[in-house]
Amino acid sequence: MLRTAVDEKSGELLTPAVLAERVGWAVDLVGGMAGALMAGHWNTADVDRLAGGEDAGGRRLPSNAWMALRRLGWTAAPPEGIKVNDRIVRMAQEAAGRTLRSAKWRADLTAAVLATWPADPNTRTAQEWEQVRAAAPGGQFLPSSVIKSRTRQAAAFTTKHGRLPADVFELEPAPRAARILLLSACDSQQATIERADDSTRALLRLQLPTRPDPQAYADWTWVACPIALPPTIPPSAVLHLPAVRIHGGRARVDLAYTVAVPTTRRTGHTVALGVDWGLNTLLSAGAVRLHSDGKITALGAGGQFRAAGVAAKQHRLRRLSERLHAKADHYQRLMDGRAPDPALAGHHTLLSQEIQRVCARRSNLNDALSWAAARWAVDQAIAAGASVIYLEDLRSMEAKGMGRTHNTRMSQQVRGQITDRMRHLAAETGIAVVSVPARNTSKHCPQCLTPLRHRKAPDRPTVAGWKWAICPNQSCGWQGDRDMGAWRRIAARGLTHQATTVIDHASATMAIRTIVDKLETQAVVIPTTTISRSDRSKTGPTRHRPTRPAPRRRRAPSPTSPAGSAGKRPGGHAPTDRARLPRAAHRNQDVTTISTPTTGHRPRGAALGAGFHLHAHATPPQWAQPPPDTMSDVGSLS
Angle at CA of residue 21, ends 15 and 24, nearest 5° = 140
On whether the CB atoms of residues 212 and 157 are closer than 8 A, the answer is no
Is the pLDDT at 210 greater than 90? The verdict is: yes
Provide mean pLDDT across the span 461-472: 84
Between CA 328 and CA 334 the distance in angstroms is 10
pLDDT tens track for 442-452? 889 999 999 98
pLDDT score recorded for residue 203? 94
pLDDT score recorded for residue 596? 45
pLDDT score recorded for residue 606? 47
pLDDT tens track for 409-455? 555 568 888 999 999 999 989 999 999 998 888 889 999 999 988 88
pLDDT score recorded for residue 530? 53
Decide which of 398 and 34 is more confident: 34
Output the CATH code of domain 5-11+186-258.
2.60.40
Provide mean pLDDT across the span 200-206: 93
Between CA 271 and CA 374 the distance in angstroms is 19
Is the pLDDT at 398 greater than 70? The verdict is: no
On whether the CB atoms of residues 281 and 217 are closer than 8 A, the answer is no
pLDDT score recorded for residue 427? 92
Is the pLDDT at 245 greater than 80? The verdict is: yes
User: Sorting pLDDT into bands at 50, 70 and 90, what band is 199?
Assistant: confident
Provide mean pLDDT across the span 198-215: 92
Report the first-to-last Cα separation within the chain, whole angstroms: 51
pLDDT score recorded for residue 325? 93
Is the pLDDT at 591 greater than 50? The verdict is: no
Output the CATH code of domain 271-310+368-526.
3.30.420
- For residue 231, with 0-12 CB atoms within 10 Å meaning exposed, 13-18 middle and 19 or more buried, which class applies? exposed
User: Sorting pLDDT into bands at 50, 70 and 90, what band is 544?
Assistant: confident
Rg (CA), the chain: 31
User: Sorting pLDDT into bands at 50, 70 and 90, what band is 10?
Assistant: very high
pLDDT score recorded for residue 508? 84
Lowest mean pLDDT among 278-282, 344-348, 629-633: 629-633
Look at the chain and count its residues: 638
User: Sorting pLDDT into bands at 50, 70 and 90, what band is 403?
Assistant: low
User: Sorting pLDDT into bands at 50, 70 and 90, what band is 546?
Assistant: confident
Domains 5-11+186-258 and 271-310+368-526 share a fold: no
User: Sorting pLDDT into bands at 50, 70 and 90, what band is 116?
Assistant: very high
pLDDT score recorded for residue 281? 83
Lowest mean pLDDT among 102-106, 197-201, 585-589: 585-589
Decide which of 577 and 18 is more confident: 18
- Helix extents (H) in 116-212: 126-135, 144-161, 168-171
pLDDT score recorded for residue 212? 93
- For residue 249, with 0-12 CB atoms within 10 Å meaning exposed, 13-18 middle and 19 or more buried, which class applies? exposed
User: Sorting pLDDT into bands at 50, 70 and 90, what band is 554?
Assistant: low
Is the pLDDT at 593 greater than 50? The verdict is: no
Percentage of the chain lying above the pLDDT 90 cut: 53
Decide which of 572 and 485 is more confident: 485
Between CA 264 and CA 424 the distance in angstroms is 12
pLDDT score recorded for residue 572? 53
Provide mean pLDDT across the span 515-527: 90
Between CA 427 and CA 258 the distance in angstroms is 12
On whether the CB atoms of residues 504 and 520 are closer than 8 A, the answer is no
Between CA 596 and CA 362 the distance in angstroms is 25
Provide mean pLDDT across the span 140-151: 86
Decide which of 622 and 278 is more confident: 278
Domain ranges of the chain: 5-11+186-258, 13-171, 271-310+368-526
User: Sorting pLDDT into bands at 50, 70 and 90, what band is 634?
Assistant: very low
pLDDT score recorded for residue 628? 54
Between CA 214 and CA 29 the distance in angstroms is 10
Decide which of 37 and 598 is more confident: 37
Angle at CA of residue 260, ends 256 and 262, nearest 5° = 130
pLDDT score recorded for residue 111? 94
pLDDT score recorded for residue 423? 94
Which of 103, 105, 109, 167 lies closest to 133 in space, CA to CA? 109
Q: Give the number of other CB atoms < 10 A from CB of residue 571.
A: 13
| 321: phi then psi, degrees, rounded to nearest 5 | -65, -40
pLDDT tens track for 149-193? 899 999 999 999 999 999 999 999 999 988 999 999 999 999 999
Between CA 222 and CA 208 the distance in angstroms is 6
Secondary structure (DSSP) of 189-224: TTEEEEE-TTSSEEEEEEEEESSSS--SGGGEEEEE
Contacts of 260 (CB under 8 A, 6+ apart): 236
